[in-house]
Amino acid sequence: MTQTNRRTLLKSAAAGGLLAANPLLGRFASAQSAAPIKLGFQQHVTGIGAAYGRWYGRTTDAAVKMINDAGGINGRPVEIVAEDDGTDPKRGAEVLEKFANQHGCDAAFGALFSHVVIGSAPAAGELKLPNFVVSEGHHVASGMLNRYTLQPGITDVKSQVQAMAPFVANTLGKKVTMVFPDFAFGHDHRDYFTAAIEAQGGEVLEHIAIPPTETSFTKYFPKIPRDTEVLYHVMVGPAVLTFVKELGEFFGPSAPALFGFLDSLEAVDLASPGLEFLEGSYFWEGNPRYAQEDQSEFDKTFRAAVGVDANGASISDPADVSTYSHMFGCWETLHIIKAGMEAAGYQGPADRAKLIEAVEAMTYIPESQANPQGAKVFNGKTHQVFGHQYISQVQDGKLVKVHTTSIDDTFYPDEADYISQSF
């Protein structure tokens, strides 16, 4: 009952042909085995996460090209095996099984939506397949998952949220109303930001939790108290643009200060009709979407490699806006996997535990071409990375970086110790 997958067959036939004729073959030949390192890419191609999945795919292709052009991992080329998980936790777990048992992948990466990450975690543990998630959820660091799930390429929501509180309290105001989606991601914002703003001497006047799948929002806005100084908003999903637009229509000329998480506008053009009122408002950004004045060489190269212009849109289609605050995570994660495999002297699936130990041993990760978003600190115990967060203001219809938090601002006491778990 061996399923012969026609595409894999074709692919490997093509790869064989390529290998025979490839003048660059010598580059990979020094390694003991020139067989590719196979990485399973759990991609949200369909379902609610498709817009993210598409950009995660483009970023992954660019990162793999860069890694392979520089000689691959341990002298072996990297091959990506992408499978659609439909942004569904059940399918996510099945896809991991496919990676481990059918494709013989060395590791997996790429899951973004929290329910997929959590739904896939038991499978990763049972298959003993290292799964490097790119999700920004707090699930990894909270200790609810297992030793085979790591998040070394993107910071988690708890650290992001608490790092915003000083800026919000000192620059925008101390009386905050929060609007967030009524599911776990939103609840993390609610709980961690409320605690953080209170630590700054501020308070949250009202929590407004919006049911997921909601498509019209104005009816909930009257719950915003009149004496609100700052409106904190974060939404995800296809209705984000409606949400932000209706917010503007509701307030008209007399809005409080607005502070949003860019999740509210990922893959959405700031020039969309109805978003004019965002002028002057502030956003958290994971990575500045618009090329900044002090843009690093690393960001320049990263942008060009992925195919993103200075406005954060696709080079080929200015209306195709990227998920710039998240997708760098794929790039950085792949480079962490490379660094981990090289440190561990990774040979094959028998060395998976060594790979995890090598990543767990990482601490300070400097800003580099491998880490264009900025320097980071990895916590091996909690399997979670910490890094700089950016706050941008909308000026002339573009996001301009006005504040960069320190990494120290994002730390919180450990909630997990995965190292104590056996493999």
Partner 1 sequence: MEFGPHLLLAVIEGSVGAAVLALTALGLSLVFGVMRVVNVAHGEFYMLGAVIAWYVATFLGAHPAVGFVGALILAPALVAVIAMLVDWLALKRVGYDPEATIVATIGFGYIFQQLTLMGFGPEARPVDPPFNSRIALPWFEFGENGLEFYFPWGLSVTSYKLFVIGAAAVLLIGFWLMLSRSKIGLVMRATELDRETAQAFGIPVDRVYAIVFGLGAGLAALAAVLIVPIQQAHYLMGHDPLLLSFIVVIIGGLGSIRGTIVAALLIGLSDGIISVFFSPTLAKIIATLLVAFVLVFRPQGLYGKKAA
Partner 2 sequence: MKTHLLHLALIGLLFALGFILPDYHQGNFSRIMVLAIYAMGYNVMFGYTGMLSLGHAMFFAAGMYGFGLSVQLGDLGVIPAMLLALLGTAAFAALVGALSLRTIGVGFMIVTLMFAQAVYLTILYAGKYTRGDEGFVLQPEARTIAGMALNQPDIRYFTALMLFGLVLLGTGLLVRSNFGSVLVAVRENEERTRMLGYDVIAHKMGAVVVSGVISGLSGATYAALFGYVGASFATVQYSIFPLLWVLLGGMGTTLGPFVGALLMFYLIDYSSGLTNAYMLIVGVALVLLVLFARAGIIGEIRKRWVPWLP
Q: Which lies closer to partner 2 via its Cβ, residue 187 or residue 354?
A: 187
- Shortest approach of partner 2 to residue 308 CB, angstroms? 22
Residues 76-135 within binding reach of partner 1 (CB under 8 A): none
- The candidate with the shortest Cα–Cα distance to 140, out of 328, 422, 414, is 414
* Beta carbons of 111 and 134 less than 8 angstroms apart: yes
Query: Taking CB under 8 A as the rule, does residue 53 contact partner 1?
Result: yes
* Beta carbons of 415 and 422 less than 8 angstroms apart: no
CA distances (Å), origin 344, targets 62, 301, 340: 24, 28, 6
Task: Give the interface segment with partner 1, choosing from 239-247, 304-312, 355-363, 410-418 (CB under 8 A).
Answer: 239-247
Query: Taking CB under 8 A as the rule, does residue 357 contact partner 2?
Result: no
Interface with partner 1 (CB under 8 A), residue from 123, 140, 210, 231: 210
Query: Taking CB under 8 A as the rule, does residue 20 contact partner 2?
Result: no
Query: Taking CB under 8 A as the rule, does residue 391 contact partner 2?
Result: no
Query: Taking CB under 8 A as the rule, does residue 1 contact partner 2?
Result: yes
Residue 184 interacts with which of partner 2, partner 1, none, CB < 5 to 8 Å by class:
partner 2
Query: Taking CB under 8 A as the rule, does residue 229 contact partner 1?
Result: no
- Shortest approach of partner 1 to residue 361 CB, angstroms? 38
Query: Taking CB under 8 A as the rule, does residue 296 contact partner 1?
Result: no
Query: Taking CB under 8 A as the rule, does residue 279 contact partner 1?
Result: no
Q: Which lies closer to partner 2 via its Cβ, residue 146 or residue 393?
A: 146
**CA–CA distance, 304 with 311 (Å, rounded to integer):** 12
Binding mask 62-91 for partner 2 (x = CB under 8 A): ---------------------xx---xxx-
Q: Which lies closer to partner 2 via its Cβ, residue 185 or residue 261?
A: 185
Query: Taking CB under 8 A as the rule, does residue 94 contact partner 2?
Result: yes
Residue 273 interacts with which of partner 2, partner 1, none, CB < 5 to 8 Å by class:
partner 1
Q: How many residues bind partner 1 (CB under 8 A)?
A: 42
CA distances (Å), origin 259, targets 66, 77, 217: 36, 44, 17
- Shortest approach of partner 2 to residue 160 CB, angstroms? 17
Residues 214-233 within binding reach of partner 2 (CB under 8 A): none
**CA–CA distance, 98 with 243 (Å, rounded to integer):** 38
Residue 97 interacts with which of partner 1, partner 2, none, CB < 5 to 8 Å by class:
partner 2
Q: Which lies closer to partner 2 via its Cβ, residue 88 or residue 285?
A: 88
Residue 67 interacts with which of partner 1, partner 2, none, CB < 5 to 8 Å by class:
none
List 364's β-bridge partners, or say none: 377
Read off the tokens for 230.
């700052």
Residues 181-200 within binding reach of partner 2 (CB under 8 A): 182-185, 187
- Shortest approach of partner 2 to residue 141 CB, angstroms? 14
Interface with partner 1 (CB under 8 A), residue from 197, 241, 262, 336: 241
- The candidate with the shortest Cα–Cα distance to 111, out of 125, 100, 98, 96, is 96
**CA–CA distance, 225 with 289 (Å, rounded to integer):** 32
Chain residues that interact with partner 1, rule: CB under 8 A: 46-48, 50-51, 53-54, 182, 208-211, 213-216, 218-224, 226, 238-242, 249-252, 254, 267-268, 272-274, 319-321
Chain residues that interact with partner 2, rule: CB under 8 A: 1-3, 5-8, 45-46, 83-84, 88-90, 93-94, 97-98, 101-102, 114-115, 118-119, 121-123, 125-126, 137, 139, 144-146, 182-185, 187, 211-212
